[in-house]
């Protein structure tokens, strides 16, 4: 109950950022500036506490001045996204320069907080210069908070993040175990997505750099592009596995397939290009994949795929939940902690829906397989009976028995996706040799509707043209 109260307090709390002036300078052409040189540079003033690092350079300098602290209380300077290989703060008190080192490359932190950028601040600090090397975020927010509020927010957020990551870890383990048992690719693809999203969260929240891969800090700049690349591949392949129909691939499905392998190819490429460029490419590819997945899901709803509406629901929740964070990343709105809460909540809902969809699809396939086996067993018994009759009957009686047996067969039931009544009508008219326009006039539908039905018929019969469709329909007694 105590922890629940802490979480609710955190979710309901409003950030009380103190007033200060913030400006930015980006190093270019590998300047490797010293602190003395950096002080004399022309800094670009930021109108808010949000800083846009961009992708121009790997080293940025921040200058924080005119810090307005109340007369009483202890305060801490912190940032939302402190993940960088190295962060150094130079604090000018007027009498001396105090240096504080942070960042994922350090084996330990002497400061009170293990966040890569959070340290106590005093009212005699005139100017603070912060050097950030190998930054991994485009935007960051800097705040001065009262220590008690900062600790409360940090504890509540930590509990929430542990819960989110715990749920993802359980779903990942569940999908892996089912893949090992059932050998269904859907579980493998989604477990890839869940695992690397988990790695991405550990990276964003500082858990990975500080606790998981702290002994190999050189991997930090590569975590984001690698995680996004494999996660995008996994979710794209999962979408195709779940929603694709047998037959000709749609344009969206082909584009989604290309996007998935493009994302996967980023994994080896990442180690041969600058980390910031790899991060930019990964974010662009991921955005394209996200939009393609939504479009593909909607197209499958139109095609009346039985899983598509649930899929689009789960994916829409995921996208809407991430909307606030994306708008902040684009600079359209200011940061609010609720963005992160909604983002993680959306991921949990999406993960539960998608895992349920895998189980639903597999269970339905098992039921269909069981029914097919039962029907085949009945047919086998009928064939045995027919064989016995043929041995003891005359030629005319034999032909009559065969015709009677064949007339009872409904071979369309053995199609993976049976034809609808309207598709059967269109197929029968195709068999008479009518054109699309003539069929449209006869059935009182448009020519484009006829074409759509024909495409679906080709997909369901697994054929490529009218001749193949009519031959297969004849064999299945559909036309």
CATH of domain 17-145: 2.60.40.2380
pLDDT in tens, 422-439: 888 888 888 888 889 999
| CATH number at 416-479 | 1.10.10.10
CA contacts within 13 A on the Cβ side of 291: 5
pLDDT at 137: 56
Q: pLDDT > 90: what percent of the chain?
A: 9
**Phi and psi (nearest 5°) for 274?**
-55, 140
pLDDT confidence bin for 230, thresholds 50/70/90:
very high
> Domain spans of the chain?
17-145, 150-361, 416-479
Most confident of 55-64, 75-84, 454-463: 454-463
Q: How far apart are CA 294 and CA 278, in angstroms?
A: 24
Query: pLDDT grade, residue 7 (50/70/90)?
Result: very low
End-to-end CA, the chain: 68
What pLDDT was estimated at residue 387? 65
Give the Cα separation of 49 and 180 in Å (integer).
Answer: 49
pLDDT in tens, 10-65: 444 444 444 688 888 887 766 678 888 888 888 888 877 766 665 555 688 889 88
Confidence at 470, pLDDT banded by 50, 70, 90: confident
pLDDT (tens digit per residue) in 180-202? 887 888 889 999 998 998 888 88
Say if 17-145 and 150-361 have the same CATH topology.
no
To the nearest 10°, report the CA torsion of 175, 177, 181, 187. 20
Beta-bridge mates of residue 79: 142
pLDDT digits 0-9 by tens, 240-285: 988 887 656 788 899 999 999 999 998 899 888 877 788 778 878 8
Q: Which top CATH class is 150-361?
A: mainly alpha
Res 115: pLDDT: 52
Q: At what angle do helices 220-243 and 308-329 cross, to 10 degrees?
A: 150
């Amino acid at each position: 109950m105590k922890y629940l109260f802490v979480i609710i307090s955190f979710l309901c709390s409003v950030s009380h950022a103190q007033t200060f002036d913030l400006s930015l300078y980006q190093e270019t052409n590998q300047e490797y500036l010293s602190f003395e040189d950096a002080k004399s540079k022309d800094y670009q003033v930021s109108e808010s506490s949000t800083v846009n690092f961009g992708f121009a350079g790997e080293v940025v300098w921040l200058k924080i001045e005119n810090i307005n602290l109340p007369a009483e209380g202890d305060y801490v300077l912190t940032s939302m996204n402190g993940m960088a290989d190295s962060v150094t703060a130079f604090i000018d008190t007027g009498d001396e320069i105090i240096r504080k080192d942070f960042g994922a490359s350090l084996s330990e932190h002497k400061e009170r907080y293990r966040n890569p950028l959070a340290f106590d601040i005093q009212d005699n600090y005139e100017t603070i210069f912060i050097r950030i090397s190998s930054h991994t975020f485009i935007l960051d927010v800097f705040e001065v908070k009262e220590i008690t509020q900062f600790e409360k927010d940090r504890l509540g957020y930590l509990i929430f993040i542990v819960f989110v990551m715990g749920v993802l870890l359980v779903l990942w383990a569940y999908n892996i175990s089912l893949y090992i048992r059932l050998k269904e690719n859907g579980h493998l693809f989604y477990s890839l997505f869940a695992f690397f999203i988990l790695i991405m969260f550990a990276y964003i929240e500082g858990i990975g750099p500080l606790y998981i891969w702290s002994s190999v800090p050189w991997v930090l700049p590569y975590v984001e592009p690698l995680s996004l690349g494999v996660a995008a591949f996994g979710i794209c392949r999962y979408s195709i596995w779940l929603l694709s129909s047998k037959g000709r691939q749609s344009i969206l499905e082909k584009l989604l397939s290309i996007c998935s392998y493009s994302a996967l190819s980023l994994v080896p490429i990442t180690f041969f290009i600058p980390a910031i460029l790899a991060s930019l490419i990964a974010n662009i590819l991921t955005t394209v994949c996200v939009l393609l997945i939504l479009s593909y899901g909607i197209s499958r709803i139109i095609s009346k795929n039985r899983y598509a509406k649930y899929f689009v629901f789960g994916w829409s929740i995921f996208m809407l939940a991430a909307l606030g964070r994306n708008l902040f990343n684009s600079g359209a709105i200011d940061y609010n902690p609720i963005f992160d809460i909604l983002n993680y909540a959306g991921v949990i809902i999406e993960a539960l829906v998608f895992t349920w969809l895998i189980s639903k699809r597999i269970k339905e396939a098992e039921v269909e397989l069981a029914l097919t086996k039962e029907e085949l067993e009945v047919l086998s018994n009928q064939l045995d009976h027919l064989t016995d009759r043929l041995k003891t009957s005359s030629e005319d009686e034999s032909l009559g028995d065969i015709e009677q047996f064949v007339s009872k067969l409904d071979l369309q039931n053995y199609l993976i996706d049976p034809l609808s009544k309207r598709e059967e009508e269109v197929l029968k008219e195709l068999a008479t040799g009518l054109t699309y326009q003539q069929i449209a006039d006869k059935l009182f539908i448009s020519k484009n509707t006829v074409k759509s039905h024909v495409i679906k018929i080709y997909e369901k019969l697994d054929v490529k043209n009218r001749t193949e469709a009519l031959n297969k329909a004849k064999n299945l007694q559909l036309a």
